[in-house]
Amino acid sequence: STCLPQRRTFQTAPPPTTIPDYAFAFDIDGVLLHSSTPVPGASETLHDLRAARIPFILLTNGGGTSETARVADLSAKLNLDLDLDQFIQSHTPFADIHEYHEKTVLVIGGDYDNCARVAREDYGFQNVVTPADLITAYPDIWPFAKVFKDYYAQFARPLPPHLTTQKSLNPNDHPLTHNLKIDAIFVYNDPRDWALDLTLTIDLLLSHAGHLGTLSPLNNNSNLPNNGYQQDSQPPLLLSNPDLWWSSSYHLPRLGQGGFHAALRGLWSTITNNTADLQTRTFGKPMQGTYEFAERRLRGYRKKLFGQVGLNDPLRRVYMVGDNPASDIRGANGYVSPFGSEWKSVLVKTGVYREGTSANGFGGEKPTKVLQDVTEAVRWGMEDAE
Ligand code: G3P
Ligand code: MG
């Protein structure tokens, strides 16, 4: 019979009379899950933390569906009822971007129109279009998308008439411009059709103020602004996850949304002859803003867990457990908490990081601790904190 690994359990202390002054933040892919399969010991470890009433949150650069749906999915996979307040994914902070709520946004990434639905129904963006809508409305915009026609037809929506009346004021515009103005480009999750998504993004970055089908007059109306690209009022590009690699069910790390960003940067530098940096606003780990957003969520969840949290119940330390030196570790190491908490980074060997490779590889950083897996990470964290 196979010898089951002895389940390593902690002394699950009785519920504390005082509120613990520490907590955990767990990355998901490569720490708790490999795609849909729980990492051995992960579920039990979260159960032990729950029993010991040690607060924890899940902080992932993943996304592509609503927080509600993902939390339900994670609760089933990890066999633990997780609270929505414990969960932050790559595009969760987009819910706070109110300045574009009445504007027209292009939402890129994910399966079907799931991300567009999240933007509309969960985050309040009223005018959301997808690459499927655009390739269906303007089939010639990318000649090679015909192979995906049936896929896009399943969920493409007609462009709302009130959105297709905004003609750019540039007299030199081609008569075929589309009278559609995109005010911002969001990449919520890994693009599935990089060719179409790159084409649309480049079209808009070269456009006159986000009018699809135009070229900015600032760039001599040429396709290749060889004499130096001049920034017109192009729509801002908001990216939700810079991960170049991530750990899935494949035995080697897979290219993440950061790979799409790199491809876009390569195209942009070629098109502009290296005369213009690609202006982007990037969310997700390792960004400071993402960790601040996560700590606010963690503090709110901790208060909910214990009822009132008084001034004598400070949160002094958070253990960030991750598999990616470039996002989880770099982010926790560099995070300066406005609340005064200290974040320690624990790198596990069950994901992107492989023993023997440099933790500083691919823009990573040296963690506080390197341990085998999430079970050992929690054991060490609880001992370190006590
Ligand atoms: O798309 C998900 C991937 O970029 C990494 O996710 O959970 O390891 O932050 P995670
Ligand atoms: Mg990970």
17 class by beta-carbon count within 10 Å (0-12 exposed, 13-18 middle, 19+ buried): exposed
In 3D space, the residue among 339, 333, 317, 348 whose CA is nearest the CA of residue 23 turns out to be 317
The answer to whether the beta carbons of residues 278 and 260 sit under 8 Å apart is no
Does 294 contact ligand 1 (Cβ within 6 A)?
no
What is the average pLDDT across 315-336? 97
CA–centroid distance, 187 to ligand 2, in Å, is 19
Question: Nearest 5°: CA angle at 327, between 325 and 329?
Answer: 50
Pocket test for ligand 1, best of 31, 60, 260 (most atoms within 8 A of CB): 60
Q: How confident is the model at residue 222 (pLDDT cuts 50, 70, 90)?
A: low
Percent of the chain with pLDDT over 70: 92
Nearest CA to ligand 1 atom 8: 29
Q: Is 2 a residue whose pLDDT tops 60?
A: no
If one compares 175 and 86, the residue with the highest pLDDT of the two is 86
Summary count for the chain: helices (H), strands (E): 10, 15
Report pLDDT digits (tens) over 34-61: 999 999 999 999 999 999 999 999 999 9
**pLDDT of 7 strictly over 60:** no
Confidence label for 362 from pLDDT (cuts 50, 70 and 90): low
Residue 325 CA to ligand 1 centre (angstroms) = 12
Residue 28: CB within 6 Å of ligand 1? Answer: yes
Nearest atom (ligand 1) to Cα of 256: 4
Q: What is the pTM of this model?
A: 0.92
Alpha carbon distance 255, 307 (integer Å): 42
State which amino acid sits at residue 74: L
